[in-house]
Amino acid sequence: MNTSVAKVIEHYFSNPMCHLELDAEEALLTEGEENRRLFYVVSGELEGFVKTENSSSVAKVFSASEGAFIGVHSFFSGDFVASSSVISKSPSVLAWIDNETPPVDEERLGSLTQQFTPVILNELSRRQKRAMQEAIEKEKVLTQLHTAEQMTTLGQLAAGIAHELNNAVGVLSSKTERMQEVILALLEELHPGASQFVDAGLLKGQTASSQEVRARAKQISSEFGIEKQLAKALARAVSPSELSDDWLKSPEDAVKYWSVGRDLHDMRVAARHSVSIVKSVKQLGRSDTEFEEWVDVNDTIHKSLALLQSDIRRVDVRFSPASTSKIKGSESDLVQVWANIIKNACDALSSTSNPGIEILTRESDNHIKVTIANNGPEIEESVRRQIFQPNFTTKKGGLSFGLGLGLSIVKRMVSRYQGSVVVKSDDEKTVFRIKLPKSTNPKEVGYGKN
């Protein structure tokens, strides 16, 4: 816990007269009802639920344990309406303040909202991590569909799971947008100078690869005399040529606010991608889908890398994009294609020293070509012939190549674009080459068809 949050807890949540004890399964808040309190969890665990669209069931949206805050949105947005029902999972103790609580030492420390800004930012970070984890867990559930033996069975299973996931994913998506609006409004009011840094992170997220970050950090440290770790943090956010006096005036704060924007960006990307995954799974057995958006292939690769930040952290990823034309199709389709291939590469590299992934894009007269190579172990010919089949998986020497439904989806989606995907592998590297026609509309095809 950082010092600022610890001080807020000490100032506002240490009064024993403002403590509340709950038994297990006891309600704290009810969705849609008035709430004028902000709660701090002293001990125990609570869970938040929201009603689904038809109000026939509820979806769990968060868990809160010791050190968490509950009611941040309803308290600081000013509507004083609980956005979810909160129930104690175990016997719990909570401290609270309400909207009548006066600020401590307002002249020196500022208004109540100003003093609680660290709490709001801390809660945003918690929600971001929670949203990302939910998206990851939901994608894991979807990949388990590879046990289906036929396309009909697979489609039926997918439709059932997608229906159940759709409610929770939809809530995550809408709450992410609402939380973003509140945070940005508060920052604009309390720290207007921070807006340019938040906007920089919000607009594009982190686009620099690990190789680019290292090169940038070295240049920033040398040119501006900034210590190594801070230079690396700045390098993630901005190139040396874009490093203005505003960034250099207080680089630690600039990086902090940029990180807020980047996290909001990644939350939106993850939420949208999760919704797209659910829609794609619903369409596994359908043949009536049309796509009319123009998609930048390089941009979809950047988005897939943003979704896989935790997987590629230990991998040297080098992305060399060429200037390419847009193609007609679905952004979520292509993000899933690259994410599946890159995730499989990361799995294969788990025991490789100096793991590396190289991504190239090129354009010819009729095609966009994408090459994704890694220096992991060789995939044997007998395995390569089967890896795009929906029911195929393998392990070698305890190492899972992550092969199964993920790569069968890659094959299916590329085939919809009348494109091709091939894999070559030797003891030095494994290479996936994908070709996408520049002027062909996507169409539905079954597994294993070209």
Predicted pLDDT of residue 156: 56
Predicted pLDDT of residue 25: 94
| pLDDT > 70: percent of the chain | 83
Q: What are phi and psi of 99, to 5 degrees?
A: -70, -5
Predicted pLDDT of residue 383: 84
Which position has the token pair 């500022």? 110
Q: Is the pLDDT of residue 167 over 90?
A: no
Decide if 354 contacts 316 (C-beta within 8 A).
yes
Which one has a higher pLDDT value, 357 or 394? 357
Band of residue 91 on the pLDDT scale cut at 50, 70, 90: very high
Predicted pLDDT of residue 401: 40
Q: What are 276's two structure tokens?
A: 């797209």
Burial class from Cβ neighbours inside 10 Å (0-12, 13-18, 19+) for residue 323 reads: exposed
Q: Is the pLDDT of residue 73 over 50?
A: yes
Domain map (residue ranges) of the chain: 1-111, 116-286, 294-437
Predicted pLDDT of residue 319: 93
C-alpha to C-alpha distance for 268 and 266, rounded to whole angstroms: 5
Q: What are 223's two structure tokens?
A: 């040119």
Q: What are 219's two structure tokens?
A: 């240049």
**For residue 200, how many other CB atoms are within 10 A of its CB?**
20
Sequence-ordered list of residues with C-beta below 8 angstroms from that of 289, at least 6 positions apart, any chain: 283, 442, 444
| pLDDT (mean) for 164-173 | 73
**Of 12-16, 242-246, 406-410, 431-435, which gets the smallest average pLDDT?**
406-410
Predicted pLDDT of residue 176: 78
C-alpha to C-alpha distance for 280 and 260, rounded to whole angstroms: 30
Sequence-ordered list of residues with C-beta below 8 angstroms from that of 17, at least 6 positions apart, any chain: none
Dihedral angle of Cα 435, 341, 236, 215, to the nearest 10 degrees: -70
Predicted pLDDT of residue 409: 79
| pLDDT (mean) for 233-247 | 91
Predicted pLDDT of residue 150: 44
Mean residue pLDDT across the chain: 82
Q: Give me the helix-helix angle, 251-282 and 151-190, nearest 10°.
A: 150
Predicted pLDDT of residue 367: 93
Predicted pLDDT of residue 400: 39
Tell me the torsion sign for CA atoms 282, 283, 285, 286.
positive
Helices (H), 191-240: 195-204, 210-224, 228-237
Predicted pLDDT of residue 141: 64
Cα Rg, the chain, nearest whole Å: 24
In a 3-state reduction of DSSP, which class is residue 380? coil
Predicted pLDDT of residue 218: 93
| pLDDT (mean) for 313-333 | 89
Q: Is the pLDDT of residue 133 over 60?
A: yes
Q: Which of 1.20.140.10, 3.40.50.10480, 1.10.10.10, 2.60.120.10 is the CATH number of 1-111?
A: 2.60.120.10
| pLDDT (mean) for 188-196 | 85
Q: Is the pLDDT of residue 189 over 80?
A: yes
Instruction: Go through 351-382 and write b for each residue having 16 or more CB atoms within 10 A of its CB, e for each that does not.
Output: eeeebbbbbebeeeeebbbbebbbbbbebeee
Predicted pLDDT of residue 140: 66
Query: What is 294-437's CATH number?
Result: 3.30.565.10
CA 181 to chain centroid, in Å, comes to 18
Instruction: Give the number of C-alpha atoms closer than 13 A to the C-alpha of residue 166, restricted to the C-beta side.
Output: 15
In the 3-class helix/strand/coil scheme, how is 50-61 assigned residue by residue?
EECCCCCCEEEE
Flag whether the pTM goes above 0.75.
no
Predicted pLDDT of residue 149: 43
Decide if 413 contacts 336 (C-beta within 8 A).
yes
Predicted pLDDT of residue 270: 79
Decide if 84 contacts 171 (C-beta within 8 A).
no
Decide if 440 contacts 418 (C-beta within 8 A).
yes
- Give pLDDT tens digits for 101-130: 999 999 898 999 899 998 888 888 877 787
In a 3-state reduction of DSSP, which class is residue 398? coil
Which one has a higher pLDDT value, 273 or 262? 262
Band of residue 281 on the pLDDT scale cut at 50, 70, 90: low
C-alpha distances (whole Å) from 275 to each of 107, 156, 174, 269, 327 are 46, 19, 11, 10, 22
**Of 84-93, 233-242, 325-334, 425-434, which gets the smallest average pLDDT?**
325-334
